[in-house]
Structure 1
Amino acid sequence: MPLVDMPLEKLKEYQGKNPRPEDFDEYWERALAERKAVDAQMELVPSSFQTPQADCFDLYFTGVRGARIHAKYIRPKNVQEPHPAIVQFHGYSSHAGDWLGKLAYASLGFSVLSMDCRGQGGSSEDTGGVKGTTHRGHIVRGLDDKPDNLLFRHIFLDAAQLAGIAMELPEVDPEQVYAIGGSQGGALTIACAALEPRVKKLAPVYPFLCDYKRVWEMDLAQGSYEELRTFFRHFDPLHEREDEIFEKLGYIDLQHLANRIRGEVLMFVGLMDRTCPPSTQFAAYNKITTPKQVVVYPDFGHENLPGASDRTIQFLLQ
């Protein structure tokens, strides 16, 4: 069969190329301490969209650096409490999506919290100098600053904070909080469960933000990763800082956080994926030490994977 990347047997052994900074663990412990010091000021506002089966709310909380983060919250009616909850994350530059897409989970007895990533297509703020949004460029945002100011650091912390908020809701069983998402959402699913290890199950679909150097060496810094190429062209055209840049990106490389996960994992990968190359995804998957399973689609790329949603819900219902 045609190959975009390594043969599957090699993918299952691949350990990644992007360097892991020596102070990586201290970096994330410091980040988590900053998050815990924030007063979340969580607020629930009833939405104008309501259904007979579920109550719908706009949920707001304050994340690190003062950003006000928005999530859609759907709480099923007539369901035994406490009940399980799903935290859901969207693709790069998108948003939490319509209410309708979350009602299937609510009909099965799950509360759903679906986050708008700060500074992207939804209602969450990016407080990096101005109120409002930045939309894209988030991988490289902060590369010319201290590592503590990388924007995806803050977004990873938002994801974990949302899971923690879910666990504190009186209607939610904190022992049954799960994380799902595809592409950037898959990356944030991993980040969420790594930084909030009480997440019991996670189902990432072709996760983004893994093994940046491998993406670069495969000449696939395009589409969602195009900003890597743009950054070099504008700010390091001779690649004199290449080692420094990839090492700094290592702080927000999901492969280095994956071993913190304590929940059970069901991951989905398309072997023809040119947006998030399979080897980059396996770099993270191979470092997960908890019970895990990967579902491989040999002929599919970064697109809808037939049956993945059904398999995910069965996994969460087990």
Structure 2
Amino acid sequence: MPFYFFKPFSMKLLSYFSLFLGLLTISLRAQNTPAPIKLVNIVLTANHPDWNYRLNEAATIKVSVLKHGSPVENVEIEYQYGPEQLTPEKKGTLKLENGVGEINIGTMNTPGFRQLKVEAKIDGYVYKDEIKAGYAPFEIQPTVSMPKDFDNFWKKAIAENNKIPLDAVVTHKPEFSTATVDVYLVRLQNYQLGHYLYGYLSKPKDNKPHPVLLNPPGAGVKKITPITSFAEQGFISLTTEIHGISPEMDEKDFQKEREKLKDYWAINLDNKDNYYYKSVYLGCVRAIDFLSSLPEFDKKNVVVTGGSQGGALTIVTAGIDKRVNYISSFYPALSDNSGYLNNRAGGWPAMFSDKNNSPEKIKTMEYYDIVNFAKKITIPGFYSTGYNDNTCPPTSTLSAFNSVKAPKEIVITPISAHWRFKETDDKSMKWLKEKCGIE
């Protein structure tokens, strides 16, 4: 009998206790949610709204330090400025009596970028910001040389790669598919027998002809994930990796590969015939082989798009594979890598910034530098970059953009760093769809 009366009482207690725990969990989560905005903001405003200046014209930057959106009185800032990504020419401090001041960061007599970095210490916390001013940015010319046998080198490499069977294995992945898009895991043989690259193929389920789109990856060693957004816009897309790592690889094995490849961009850099990126660049052509063989391919529109390393591979593919019709490249890495050897910023991964170079490494990079592929592009392209990008500095990316002689549309968002705004993505997609006749 006691048990009979105690049971409903204990269940009610349990219910109340569960509710309490739930509310406590929500409360703790709310307390630990990162603030969506900064308590203190440093706002840097160029006296030219497009951040562009003529050669020998001084750039003046307005500095505002705001707390709760209002100027912080009598705050002292530290600043430094000079050529982009190089040793600062000047460092100093400035007291902002009303939370606002100006810094003249000088000028340049050759095309390029100057960079201002500012920091303020308030209530024990350090706040930072930076801005870059462009001097005749569309006149920046690359420093890298073009090998005389560049075209023959890549024609021979592609011809040799074509001897290797594609050996495509395509596996439907219903767990990643949607109501309108089918997703498949794809394995393609590339570069050597038994050497593979992997990708996720996304196809509209309507079985109609569609343009094909290659989406190469950004830098790093990571497992790829399916992307269905391109297929939802009317493309048959292939999102790839570059290291021969299946997204289904065991985690322990993946971590071993990741450690082994942490500096993959430097592997065999002193040997142009065996440099790591040779298989990567050929893999992009191999991906086009696969996409153009699909029965749903509309037989006329081949597109490549990506950002950072993916932006670089986009330009590479268009430069050596004439089946490509349109590209959209965002802040391409690996551009004008010899910049640091000429006292200016070079592209990711800043491989010569530490002066760790040799004639063999420098010569090898000439065959792989994005600038030299950009010079080979003959098709329309959409390009974009930001001035505040320190990963792929604008001096390097504009060296590539300015090397393109084919029709091009360039969207510059000066304020963006190594990322892009949705508005820019939307412009890119609208441009690609219009070129391919997708309504």
Is 1:190 the counterpart of 2:318 in the alignment? no
Equivalent residue for 1:225? 349
Equivalent residue for 2:203? 75
Is 1:275 the counterpart of 2:275 in the alignment? no
Q: 1:151 aligns with which of 246, 259, 276?
A: 276
Higher helix proportion (structure 1 or 2): 1
Would the aligned equivalents of 1:266 and 1:294 in 2 still touch at CA under 8 Å? yes
Are the structure 2 counterparts of residues 266 and 70 from structure 1 closer, same or farther at C-alpha, using a change threshold of 3 Å? same
Are the structure 2 counterparts of residues 117 and 296 from structure 1 closer, same or farther at C-alpha, using a change threshold of 3 Å? same
Would the aligned equivalents of 1:206 and 1:281 in 2 still touch at CA under 8 Å? yes
Q: Deviations over 1:210-264 (max 9, x none)?
A: 1111145557679x525545782xxxxxx6x2x4422221111011111322321
In the alignment, the residues of structure 2 paired with residue 221 and residue 258 of structure 1 have an alpha-carbon distance, to the nearest angstrom, of 16
Are the structure 2 counterparts of residues 147 and 246 from structure 1 closer, same or farther at C-alpha, using a change threshold of 3 Å? same
Which consecutive residues of structure 2, in runs of 5 or more, have no partner in the other structure? 1-45, 47-60, 62-82, 85-111, 114-132, 250-255, 435-439
Is 1:50 the counterpart of 2:177 in the alignment? yes
In the alignment, the residues of structure 1 paired with residue 424 and residue 144 of structure 2 have an alpha-carbon distance, to the nearest angstrom, of 29
Would the aligned equivalents of 1:178 and 1:199 in 2 still touch at CA under 8 Å? yes
- Structure scoring higher RCO (CA < 8 A, sep ≥ 6) equals 1
Task: Write the mapping of 1:1-318 to structure 2, written as runs, cut at 5 A.
Answer: 1=46, 4=84, 5-6=112-113, 8=134, 10-47=136-173, 48-66=175-193, 67-80=195-208, 82-95=209-222, 97-99=224-226, 102-118=227-243, 134-144=260-270, 146-215=271-340, 217=342, 224-225=348-349, 228=352, 232=356, 241=358, 243-318=359-434
SS of match in other structure, 2:228: helix
Q: Which amino acid aligns with 1:117?
A: I
Which consecutive residues of structure 1, in runs of 5 or more, have no partner in the other structure? 125-130, 233-238
In the alignment, the residues of structure 2 paired with residue 284 and residue 226 of structure 1 have an alpha-carbon distance, to the nearest angstrom, of 15
- Structure having the higher Rg: 2
Are the structure 2 counterparts of residues 123 and 87 from structure 1 closer, same or farther at C-alpha, using a change threshold of 3 Å? farther
Q: Deviations over 1:255-296 (max 9, x none)?
A: 111132232100001112111111211222222222101111
Q: Deviations over 1:182-203 (max 9, x none)?
A: 0001001111111212211110
Q: Deviations over 1:35-71 (max 9, x none)?
A: 2222111111112422221111001110112321111
SS of match in other structure, 2:388: coil
- Between the two proteins, what is the percent identity of the paired residues? 24
Are the structure 2 counterparts of residues 265 and 8 from structure 1 closer, same or farther at C-alpha, using a change threshold of 3 Å? farther
In the alignment, the residues of structure 2 paired with residue 298 and residue 31 of structure 1 have an alpha-carbon distance, to the nearest angstrom, of 38
Which moved further from structure 2: 204-213 or 270-279? 270-279
Which moved further from structure 2: 195-204 or 47-56? 47-56
In the alignment, the residues of structure 1 paired with residue 316 and residue 350 of structure 2 have an alpha-carbon distance, to the nearest angstrom, of 22
Which moved further from structure 2: 300-309 or 163-172? 300-309
Q: TM-score, normalised by structure 2?
A: 0.63
Q: Once the 2 structures are TM-superposed, how far is the Cα of residue 17 of structure 1 from its aligned partner?
A: 0.6
Q: Which amino acid aligns with 1:58?
A: L
Q: Once the 2 structures are TM-superposed, how far is the Cα of residue 84 of structure 1 from its aligned partner?
A: 1.1
Which moved further from structure 2: 2-11 or 176-185? 2-11
Would the aligned equivalents of 2:346 and 2:396 in 1 still touch at CA under 8 Å? no
Which moved further from structure 2: 11-20 or 164-173? 11-20
Equivalent residue for 1:236? none
**How big is the alpha-carbon RMSD for the aligned residues of Structure 1 and Structure 2?**
2.6
Which moved further from structure 2: 286-295 or 184-193? 286-295
In the alignment, the residues of structure 1 paired with residue 201 and residue 433 of structure 2 have an alpha-carbon distance, to the nearest angstrom, of 20
The count of aligned residue pairs is: 299
In the alignment, the residues of structure 2 paired with residue 122 and residue 190 of structure 1 have an alpha-carbon distance, to the nearest angstrom, of 25
Q: Which amino acid aligns with 1:64?
A: Y
Q: Once the 2 structures are TM-superposed, how far is the Cα of residue 180 of structure 1 from its aligned partner?
A: 0.7
